[in-house]
Structure 1
Amino acid sequence: MQISIVDDHPLFLDGLTALLGRIDESFEIEAFSSGTELLASFDPDNLAPALIISDLSMKPINGLALLSSLRAKGFDRPFILVSGVDETLSAAELKASGAFAFVSKSADLPTLRDVIFSALESGSTPGKRGSRSLSGGVRSGSSDYQATTLTPRQIEIMQIIVDGGTNRDVAGRLNISENTVKTHLRQIFQVLGVNKRTACISKARSLGLI
């Protein structure tokens, strides 16, 4: 099973290569330090990788531009985007991109394994089988699911709110401003697809985020 990894950070590239080897010894890993390097080697007439895992923020082209270029060349297999803990991709952005899933680089090994095997089982782009999302320890049997990745800070905020904390309580405990708390909450609501605090708590619990 051939899997290609693209990341312009050598340490993460080496680390992810090692992790994939731990997940399944049958994986044949090709590592690329940039999207342009992968594109230069891509040949749709030969055996294409069963899965591509790419960093979202790269130079000279980012993960979204890489995916778009690959689709134009006929690549129709799953594509997973990964990125740092301070970045996220909304459900709408994920669907529009055509990527199978978005996963934070802070995700643990079981989460990453679940995403990879779900992608490989789908064997195609979301447009053929329906979108899926597995990240941050989240599982969903739905064929139309959201990219639900919360940063460690957002999870801290959610845990305080679950205990009945107000925005002021959150700000005091985390030593941040109330405006920063409100910004985080807006982002959390967007990721979870809710607009009320009670619904946010319920959704986060159902997804196993808190």
Structure 2
Amino acid sequence: MAETPIRLIIADDHPIVRDGLRGMFAGDPGFEVLGEAADGAEAVELARALRPDVILMDLRMPGTDGVTAIKELARLGVPARVLVLTTYDTDRDVMPAIEAGATGYLLKDTGPEELIRAVRTAARGEAVLSPSVATRLLGQVRAPADPLSARELEILRLIAAGATNREAAARLFISEATVKSHVLHIYTKLGVNDRAAAVATAFRRGLLTLDDD
């Protein structure tokens, strides 16, 4: 019985890049290219309509960028795996993409065989990272961090459970202003700007686990 092909969408603002990727995957019976998008918004619409297994996503595109698109796909519950394929491997590119929910992160100098293997890996839901990105992420994990206090961890667990600042204050018998202050300290210590990123980063660092109530 023939293996079901992996269904792909290619999102990149450069037509020549899209053409090259389409040609590479179209020549392999293990893949089916469903469509192409020139920006993040178009990628989201195609993904909602066509339900691909994997989206090859550029990051820096005019209009809606890749990270915004990844967040929107997660918000909409689109189950496609997102494999970032970009020229950039700086912290300000890598970390937001991973925290937004990208399954993998590769650079555009990746060879064809390696890219094909990476898409197969991403389709299985396994993480795939280019060596330079893996090194950068490892450096982030190893970097000394200001630990969260016991109270900050309590509040972070409540945030992960969906509690508002007011609800957290009521649960912990402290003022809402105190909770807000703790939340700001949590953001600073984790290097994030919002609640979703704080929770994602805390899970990645092992500060939160699925067993937390």
Instruction: Give TM-score, length-normalised by structure 1.
Output: 0.55
Structure (1 or 2) with the greater helix fraction: 2
Q: 1:2 to 1:190 in 2, by over 3 A?
A: closer
1:133 is aligned to 128
2:12 is aligned to 7
Question: For each residue in 1:30-71, what CA deviation from the matched residue of structure 2 results, as whole angstroms up to 9, or x when unmatched?
Answer: 11122222333443xx65111111101101011100111111
Instruction: Classify the secondary structure of the residue corresponding to 2:29.
Output: coil
Note if contact 1:34-1:60 (Cα within 8 Å) is conserved in structure 2: yes
1:106 is aligned to 109
Q: State the 1:89 CA deviation.
A: 5.1
Picking from 55, 62, 67, the partner of 2:65 is 62
Note if contact 2:70-2:97 (Cα within 8 Å) is conserved in structure 1: no
Question: For each residue in 1:181-205, what CA deviation from the matched residue of structure 2 results, as whole angstroms up to 9, or x when unmatched?
Answer: xxxxxxxx6455267xxxxxxxxxx
2:39 is aligned to 34
Q: State the 1:118 CA deviation.
A: 0.4
2:186 is aligned to none
1:201 is aligned to none
Picking from 14, 19, 26, the partner of 2:24 is 19
Question: For each residue in 1:62-105, what CA deviation from the matched residue of structure 2 results, as whole angstroms up to 9, or x when unmatched?
Answer: 11001111111111221011111xx1155644531210111000
> Does residue 81 of the first structure (1) align with residue 76 of the second (2)?
no
Instruction: Classify the secondary structure of the residue corresponding to 2:89.
Output: coil
Q: CA RMSD in A?
A: 2.5
Q: 1:111 to 1:92 in 2, by over 3 A?
A: same
Q: 1:40 to 1:190 in 2, by over 3 A?
A: closer
In our comparison, the structure showing a higher alpha carbon Rg is: 2
Instruction: Classify the secondary structure of the residue corresponding to 1:40.
Output: helix
Cα distance in structure 2, aligned partners of 1:37 and 1:92:
23
Q: Which amino acid aligns with 2:99?
A: A
Cα distance in structure 1, aligned partners of 2:43 and 2:136:
33
* Unpaired segments ≥5 residues, structure 2: 1-5, 144-213
Instruction: Classify the secondary structure of the residue corresponding to 1:111.
Output: helix
Q: State the 1:2 CA deviation.
A: 1.8
Q: 1:120 to 1:89 in 2, by over 3 A?
A: farther
Note if contact 2:82-2:103 (Cα within 8 Å) is conserved in structure 1: yes
1:142 is aligned to none
Instruction: Classify the secondary structure of the residue corresponding to 1:56.
Output: coil
Identity of aligned pairs, percent?
23
Question: For each residue in 1:153-173, what CA deviation from the matched residue of structure 2 results, as whole angstroms up to 9, or x when unmatched?
Answer: xxxxxxxxxxxxxxxxxxxxx
Note if contact 1:81-1:99 (Cα within 8 Å) is conserved in structure 2: yes
